[in-house]
Every structure is written in structure tokens, then in C-alpha cells.
Amino acid sequence: MTAVSTVAKREYKFETLSVTEAKQFVYHVAFNRPDRLNAFNRTMWFELGKCFNDLSYDSNCRAIVLSANGKHYTAGLDLTDAMKIGQELGELDDVARKANYLEQKIKAYQDSISSLEKCQKPVIVAVHSACVGAGVNVIAAADIRYCTEDAWFTVKEVDIGLAADVGALQRLPKIIKNQSLVRELCFTARKFDSKEAYDNGVVSRVFKTKDEMINAAIQLAELIASKSPVAVQATKRSLVYSLDHTNQEGLDHICEINKTNLQSEDFINATIAGATKGDPPVFAKL
């Protein structure tokens, strides 16, 4: 018998993000600072991490689409807001204390971006127009990447005197297999368009319009959400873990997961449905 969950749906209210339930078990998150071209200020950094951490443990959510409202996906770092860091540093005299302050900031922003990768639910990003700096770091942490034909990307940090420090330098070399190209993009901050992004594996599909892309992303999320949440979430855990571990370590990792999951009602119900060619099973909330 399939268990019935009565967990109430929670509300998500943020200043810089909009969150809606697009379909059953599918949540649509959108950057929502269109007047600032969705540039990342402190509030947005904090809210992005909180949103994906919360959705990770929300049993009403099984797949997530991340898009953006307004003209661009994101203009990257909000430089006006970032200047406040310099002002706060000026209030500290000692180099060790300044370093401690900056370490806390950098790690907090890293955790915000990594929340997409650590989220138990598959994350599909849908990019239109400009995806600058922090935006590239965000999409590199996602599971599936779609974009529009007019989308363009840039690893912008070197142009503001920084090495990217929130994930692009660690994740892009695993996405783009041409190491020469990765280094060219990261050393120069040059723009690359949707065709180059598709040709080099940064995105898996390109669409003519934003609406077409969003609809396709939600349809994909709905399909994923129809599958066993036990199976999908275990699959993501194994894929992420195996990226930087040996094949044997990955095999040992999934063995530890599946020695529990093979006892799950999801496996039993799906197996029976497949063997009897009956109706697709309806999976309980996890």
C-alpha cells in the first residue's frame, strides 16, 4: 500500500525571487530584480541559498525550474552593493580581521551557489539574454541547462579584478571538455553566444523564444516529477558524487544508497506496474 502524506504546502516569499508551483511537484523560481537587471546583491545571495535549501527538503517539490524576470537573466554582481564590502573593510584595521571578514563573505556566497548542486531535487535553468559573472556560476551548479537563441554568457570576474570564487572555475572544466576553451573564457571574460554554448555542452537545448523555453523546461520538470522521488533523488546524489570520485568510489556510494532504496515501496510498485503493463504508478511524497 502506498503511504499518503498530509504535509501542508509551504509559502515562499522573497524580496529578490519569485516562487510559484508551476505544476504538481514542480516549482518555478525566478530571479526578480528586473529593475536592476537581476544583479546579485546581498539579499539575493542569501535568498537564493535559502530558497534552494528549503526546496530541497520540501516534499511537495520534486523538480525545479530557475529562470529570470525582466530583460536579462542576470547582469552578475551588483557593483553598487558590492562597494559596501569595501566600506566595511575600511572599518577594520587589522589584516587578519579583514581576511576573516572576507572569508565569511566568500564562503557564504559559495554556499549560496552550491545550494543548487546540493539540492536533492533536479534543477533546470532556463537562460535568456545576458548571463554574466555570477549567472554563469549559478548555471554551472544546475543539473540541466536550457537557453534562448539570444542568450549570451561571460565569466566576467577578471574584468573586475577578481578570480571567480563561487564555482565557475571548479565546475566549468567538468562541463566543457575543451580545457583550452575553458581557460580562454575564464582568462579573457569574452562573451560566448548560445550556439557556442550548445556546441560545447554548456546548454543542452536552445529555443527561439523565452516562452517556448520556459514551457519546455516546465514540461521536462513535470516528467521528472512523475518518476519515483526516491529514484530521482538518489540518481542526482550519485551523479554529483561521481563527478570527482573514482568509478569504484561511485559504485560503492550508490551501493550504500540502494541497499536501502531497493526496499522502498517505489521500487516494488514500479516493478509490479512494469511487469503487469498496468497504469503508471503514483508515488507518495518523500
The tens digit of pLDDT for each residue in 28-55 reads: 999 999 999 999 999 999 999 999 999 9
The tens digit of pLDDT for each residue in 10-34 reads: 899 999 999 999 999 999 999 999 9
Beta carbons within 8 Å of 135's beta carbon, 6+ residues apart: 73, 74, 76, 127, 153
Domain 17-225 has CATH 3.90.226.10: yes
- pLDDT mean across residues, the chain: 95
Question: What pLDDT does residue 4 have?
Answer: 44
Span(s) in the chain for CATH 3.90.226.10: 17-225
Fold classification of 229-276 (topology level)? Lyase 2-enoyl-coa Hydratase; Chain  A, domain 2 (1.10.12)
Q: Whole-structure pTM over 0.75, yes or no?
A: yes
Which amino acid, residue 126?
A
| Over residues 216-242, mean pLDDT | 98
Question: What pLDDT does residue 3 have?
Answer: 43
Q: Give DSSP secondary structure letters for 197-208.
A: HHHTTS-SEEES
User: Mapping DSSP to helix (H, G, I), strand (E, B) and coil, where does residue 148 land?
Assistant: strand
> What are the two backbone dihedrals, phi and then psi, of residue 13, each rounded to the nearest 5 degrees?
-125, 120
Return the bridge partners of 66, or none: 29, 125
Span(s) in the chain for CATH 1.10.12.10: 229-276
The tens digit of pLDDT for each residue in 99-112 reads: 999 999 999 999 99
Q: Give the integer Cα–Cα distance in Å for 238 and 108.
A: 25
Q: Give the three cell numbers for residue 206.
A: 536552445
